[in-house]
């Protein structure tokens, strides 16, 4: 191709010097919410001790409102919206961007929110295997009108390294488990409180308990596609999500905003610790990495 | 339920007086991009001759960045992000909102963007039937770990009425056709320019031509779930999308920003004409409804 327009990122090979803009990126962090990914970039800016207070980071994708993208040193922080189709579009264009920019040895981590299964709300789950709604480690991709089954394996060493990092942040629990990925938040995750519901509370609990027994510790909506696409393209990938509630206890997310906000910072703090360690850096004095206050 | 928290809209039955806020809503318009749905609400504000210039409409979901919501008189304008999972979450919570607010006789219309098939870019397609990637009028919903097949029928009279409205706006073509809904923008829509591609240009064209022969005139990523969920909940629903390119001619969206922006206004102008007609109103003098200048 003479020109590659990354339409949903509002970037392109003729309009932007991608190697100059992104060639030194080593870590890419992705998550659903644009505000959260902006907050993460600001947090990383401070942790890396970069000049300025990081409050005025520019959205690199400002020309579109499909996704938001920020950078802090070698870290790129991008939103992906909700669900497999939305993250797939972003990943296709991000992976092309990394290719055009000639990036090397990039680690990509999804830092998200999820529903927990049999674990305390606020627990951070590092995914060992992403599974579908039948608890199988596979992602079914429609290619033209065929269905292709893809592996959802993630980098096991990276997961172990992240768990080791979590030991240094003692004020919240972190564990490794399977993550179930669904196409729907309500019926697809066995919620009784959607606009439609055709099953009983007993059927719901029976399903969620089966998921727990199969090793599932949290439920979200992007991990299988993320694992499959990153795996096929040779990116070292991890999924680290905080749980906002225990689905065995209920369906609605009832925690106050400030509690949810603190929960959402937990994966960010873990990933910041991991990145600093990899860069051989220490967190700046008085930083908030290892404390919530 | 004692309280219903519409988490992704940041609204709830205890924190908000939903009947007072929304009880008089008669038209709900939904589309992927928050900026576009804000622009549509501003446009409707002017068309309805409401007080003020409509430039400072408040985002009713300002407490979250998952979706954006604006109102102009009896018209609600909401973004849904990209893909079936994202629109499904919004629709579940929107339909509960309309129920709690005791709304009656609501018409819901998706105004979106799409890829065209064998038609001139800029053409507006009113969907008669939403079909899946096998050209079948069905939506497969995972419920717990079962798959339930749902009808994707839309309101035929509403589609005809919208086509009749389009005759009054002569500066762009509008037609009725099938709309294909996919889970992916790249491989799922037969694009050759994703990060991955495992098929040839010949296979792609063979697939797209089969879609054309099956009656498909445009391709997007939300219509089957939208049709299924609205149909089951008794909402009169339509899908009206402009086409940004002809997929038989290429994969990349190469039109300049100003051309794409004008294209995106076309479904908005058509729906504005429809809403004004239903309310027995005429567009204000000097308005831009029937002209692009």
What is the sign, positive or negative, of the torsion defined by CA atoms of A113, A172, A136, A238?
positive
From first CA to last CA, the distance across chain A in angstroms is: 51
- Residue B202: the pLDDT is 97
Is there a contact between B241 and B128 (Cβ–Cβ < 8 Å)? no
The alpha carbon of residue B280 is apart from the nearest alpha carbon of chain A, in Å, by 32
pLDDT at A293 over 50: no
Query: A188: which chain B residues are within 8 Å (Cβ-Cβ)?
Result: 141-143
Model confidence at B288: pLDDT above 80? no
Q: What is the pTM of this model?
A: 0.96
Q: Are B185 and A96 a contacting pair at CB < 8 A?
A: no
Q: Per residue in A50-71, pLDDT tens? A: 999 899 999 999 999 999 999 9
To test the contact with chain A by mutation, choose from B82, B103, B263 the residue with the greatest count of A C-beta atoms within 10 A, namely B82
- B277 contacts B269 by C-beta, under 8 angstroms: no
Average pLDDT, chain B: 95
pLDDT in tens, A91-124: 999 999 999 999 999 999 999 999 999 999 999 9
Residue B52 has pLDDT above 50, yes or no: yes
Distance (Å, whole) CA B96 – CA B101: 8
Is the ipTM value over 0.85, yes or no? yes
- For residues A162-186, give the mean pLDDT: 96
Structure confidence at residue B292 (pLDDT): 44
pLDDT at B190: 96
User: Which residues of chain B make contact with A229, given a CB cutoff of 8 A?
Assistant: 195-196
Number of H helices, E strands in chain B: 7, 12
Instruction: Give the per-residue pLDDT at A53.
Output: 86
Q: What is the pLDDT of residue A217?
A: 98
Give one DSSP letter per residue of A213-253, joined into a string: HTTEEEEESSHHHHHHHHHHTT-EEEEEEEEEEETTT-SS-
Q: What is the largest CA-CA distance in chain B?
A: 58
Q: Count CB-CB contacts under 10 A for residue A227.
A: 29
Q: Is the pLDDT of residue A288 over 80?
A: no
């Amino acid at each position: 191709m003479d020109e590659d327009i990354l339409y949903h990122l509002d970037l392109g090979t003729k309009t932007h010097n991608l190697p100059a803009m992104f060639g030194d990126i080593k870590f890419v962090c992705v998550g659903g919410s644009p505000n959260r990914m902006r907050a993460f970039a600001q947090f990383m800016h401070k942790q890396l001790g970069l000049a300025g207070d990081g409050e005025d980071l520019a959205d690199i994708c400002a020309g579109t409102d499909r996704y938001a993208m920020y950078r802090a040193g070698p870290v790129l922080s991008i939103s992906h919206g909700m669900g497999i189709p939305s993250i797939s579009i972003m990943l296709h264009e991000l992976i092309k961007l990394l290719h055009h920019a000639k990036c090397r040895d990039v680690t990509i981590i999804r830092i998200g929110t999820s529903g927990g299964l049999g674990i305390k709300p606020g627990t951070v789950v590092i995914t060992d295997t992403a599974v579908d709604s039948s608890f199988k480690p596979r992602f079914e991709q429609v290619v033209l009108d065929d269905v292709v089954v893809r592996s959802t394996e993630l980098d096991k060493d990276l997961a172990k390294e992240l768990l080791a990092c979590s030991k240094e942040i003692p004020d919240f629990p972190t564990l490794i488990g399977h993550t179930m990925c669904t196409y729907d938040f309500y019926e697809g995750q066995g919620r009784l409180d959607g606009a439609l519901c055709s099953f009983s509370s007993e059927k719901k609990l029976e399903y969620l308990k089966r998921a727990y027994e199969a090793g599932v510790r949290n439920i979200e909506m992007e991990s299988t596609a993320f694992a499959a696409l990153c795996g096929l393209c040779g990116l070292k990938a991890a999924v680290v999500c905080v749980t906002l509630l225990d689905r065995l206890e209920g369906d609605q997310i009832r925690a106050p905003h400030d509690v949810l906000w603190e929960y959402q910072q937990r994966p960010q703090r873990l990933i910041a610790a991991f990145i600093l360690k990899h860069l051989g850096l220490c967190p700046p004095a008085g930083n908030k990495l290892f404390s919530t206050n």
